[in-house]
Structure 1
Amino acid sequence: MKRMQADNRKQEQGHKVIRLRMDAGFFFERAVRSLDRHRYDKALKYFRLAAEKEPDNPVNQCNLAGILSEMGRFEESNEVLERILQEVDSHLHECYFYMANNYANMDDFEKAEEHCLRYLEEEPEGEFSQEAEEMLEMLAFELGRQPRRPRVQPRNRLLRKHEEARECMEAGHFLRATRILEKLVEEAPDFLAAMNNLALSYYYTGELDRAMKTIHQVLQKDSHNLHALCNLAVLSQYQGQVEQRDRLVGMLKKWAPFHLEQMMKLATTMGVLGEHQEAYRLFRHLLKLDPAPDSSLYHYVAVAAFNIGEWSFARKYWRVARELDPKSEVPRFYLNQLVEAESSLQRLPSISYHYQLPFEEQLLQLDQQQRRSIPEQIKQNPLIRSSFFWALNHGDRETKLQVLQVFEWIRDGEVEEVLRGFLLKENEDDDLKRIALYILREIGIKEPCRARLDGREVMIQPYQLAQELPHWLQAWRQVLDRCLGRMAGEYDQTQMNDAEIIWAEFLRQNQPNLPVIRKVEGWVAALEYVVAKLHGLPLTYQGVARKYDVSSSTVGRNVRMLEEVCKVYRNNTH
């Protein structure tokens, strides 16, 4: 009676009862929190409830199987995986691979082999096909006999080609990887791992429409493909598709990957999407699971910690990365950035998860290198090369000019191919295309190239490249050509290289507001003068002015414009 009266008083006073929505997402979040606190018993309870709320959702069921396996309850995990195949999704063939892992952990090598073979028969080019092949070798060793092979042999040639494409991507040769993967997907349209890598290759080279189309092709074949969903979320964010991006983030946050490689993909994706708290949780979980984490993983955890304001943890993880990889500049750079942020008491913008220096820092360091001696790690680092490709497609005009200058320094076959593709883009500035033609001329191409210039497509022969330079660049190119011609015989190769570097940097720094050239010889004289002074050679305004038949005041005026470049260059070379 008293309780009823109390309830009536609450209703009279306007109290409202707030009901919690205990759906699958609610229990999933509780499970994840319990995992972070190492409360596996509670995590298991909540994963069970999430699976009961959405029994037809294979993601929830796989999460349940995963936590059971992590707790060493391998038989129960396999029961869940078997139920997924029988009642939820018979095409989720990776369940066979997960079951093989569980049987191997129970030392039931015969059944492990049986399920591994079944996975390879169903998915000869599946996401875990390479790991499954390696597991068969291991199981054969344990059983003391030769490895068994699936009844439907995996297409080993295709797997080798896929591995070749992955190696190309790891080396930064994305265009070569794209060609291999395109042929591979055409030959094996159900090879989803190859399709996912093809989408990434398109993404890294700026072909966003083709990347999106490839991702959707994967999802039509496998709507729960984690890699494709992650790639789609990143592309959606980049293209401003907020609603689709948010829907995908909500879906991905409910995913508890069974495999370490999947967890790394999900963690990295969360970071790229700006979901730093979730990225921090996943990366820290990876640290606990990985028996030998490398410096890059510690960097990822540090970045996530920094981006959520946990600077003391960021410092801790970057210091570990520095110890593991003492030759890398990356941990040192970010530790210095952290010191500056703390001293200024300012919150810095979020930083990238790539294990590399920021793009602007890369360009700054390249500006300080000898023109013909860019370190091999700059030429070969896939992350740096991909950032250059991306900037050429999506940067502003100034950034594209800087990238084109870097490409002139690198001068390899893939740069030539990238520039040839750049010439055909419809919405690019014609002056930038003409600079690309100038670089192709410097590379020394032998074959003609097609280009869209002045609204029409033209074929340009190698001997015609000089005619296609921007008008302003033709005059400025004459300055360097004449200067080097007059310096030949009087100066050594190092001094002539310095003339090239100073002139290129002067042009870069003053784009797009270069002064008008009224007399080429006035700039030639000024350039020779600053090189002579840089090397302590006896040359006066009057002497160089007489040599080029110009006035001393003209030389002096132009030298003053070059002096700032000379100061920076002198500081970087002495």
Structure 2
Amino acid sequence: MKEHKQHNDGGPRKVVPIRMDAGFFFERAVSSLDRFHYDKALKYFGKAVEYEPENPVNHCNMAGILSEMGDYQGSNDILHLVLKEIDPLMTECYFYLANNYANMEQFEQAEEALITYLEEDASGQFMTEAEEMMELLHFELKRPAELRSIKSRQGMVEHERARTLLEEGKFTHAVQLLEEIVEKHEDFLAARNNLALAYYYLGRFAKAQTALDDVLDREPGNLHGLCNLVIFYQHLGREKELKELTAQLRTVVPFHQEHVFKLATTMGILGEHEAAYSHFKRLIKDMELNHDPCLFHYTAVAAYNTGRYKEARIQWNQVARLDPESKLSSFYLSRLDSLPETKGYLISYNYHLPFEEQFKRWETHSEDLPEGLTDDPLIRSSFLWALRNGDSRTKIQVLQAFGWIGDEEALESLRAFLLEPDEDIYLKEIALFVLRNLDVEEDLPLMNQGKIEQVNPMKVRSSLPEWDSQWQRVLDLALRSMSKRYELTEQHDLEILWIQFITKMDLNMPPISKAEVWSAALEYLTAKMHGRSISYEQAASRYGVSSPTVSKYVKLIDQTCGIDHKMKAILPSPFE
């Protein structure tokens, strides 16, 4: 008889029982996943759920497998179950839901789930992936998401929104938001720095100084705080402190890119162009930044302002390469070809053409001519350049600029514009309108469809044999009232409407007993045509007449010219 063989340990063979629990099936599921056996993995995860139905991880694993298999709705059903019945705090489920909805091309639902994830998840486990998905949804929905906060980033989203408000000039709203941020996050120094700037822009200098002191008390070497402080000193004329802090900043050589950029721009504002040039040159050597056309423009400006004209040309050529749609580089390169005109005049670091900067300044100068508009030859030449190379809107802005300036050079530019052979006749009519406002009375040559005709800016151009002085009074009253509240094109359109009405009425034109009523009606209609908010009461009060009478004349002009009918094709009726 054969003897039974024994194991090396001398004992009989032992039978090891299989541990049939959730852990066992979890391991089997993972093993199946490694071999891409999704059906088996789903089956094993399902078994794990049976053993531990209250464990949300097993449910999420099932949801993940279903998503991999393309069953996005089945996956979402499980994720909603987890959030509703098992673990409402498992916020990563919202990220998984967003993924599934995106794959189903249900982008609105994907955005909603992703926003919930970002606003409620404290760990930020999928932060990078969430940002990438946010960009995708922005592209698909053609709008940014209305994200209020990112919980894992402690006020960063609110801070970015505040920075945007500052850039848009909405300083009051920025202050409100930044005050909330620093109240919740006392050590958020970037928010404190921007709060100081917001106070400063609002003219609340004491509060701005206090906010900066808070920053520098917490971190005496905070470079952003020091840069903001030196700008304050410059604005307030505190020469001693300005000189001392500027000298201190000249010796600083920051390491971080953000600090180098802040210091470079600050030195440029201070007129320390040599230091600004040095810092900008450091930045463009960085491979991560050398695709930014703005940075090359700043470097070009610093080079120009320090007399390095060849270097400026090199950098503006880089701007042209990186931002071919922008006309900024071509303008400055053309100026380099006529250096004698502009040498000795410093260029702004803003990534705008000089005339664009002036237009932005106009938004805050409703009454007075912006300072420096008539002095700087670079700005003058930029207006002429824009009148030749700009789009229609830009050309209208330049024509209005010449109306603001009103000197002999501006008048000569307007006269020359009337003779441009390829220019739109509408823009020439705008130029004539500006000349009339400048009280130019002599006949001027105007090229229209290849032919020269003589026009007098003071005479309204119409097909009527005569132009009644009372008709002109209506026009003068309206334009005088609207001059500071309406754009040039809107004023011009009012004139065209009045001419059209009188021409259509012909012999039936009623006598003008009260010019103010007609002026109010014309302003009301012009405002409505341009989408402005206005009521009969508002129009009437501006001219000292009654609103029922204004309404009566509005209806007469509309019935004659068909304004309401024309606008209904694209908009609801603009009339009350």
Q: Specify if TM > 0.5.
A: no
Please indicate the TM-score interval, normalised by the length of the shorter structure.
0.3 to 0.5
Which protein shows a greater Rg?
Answer: 2
TM-score by length of 1: 0.40
- Bigger RCO (CA 8 Å, 6+ sep): 1
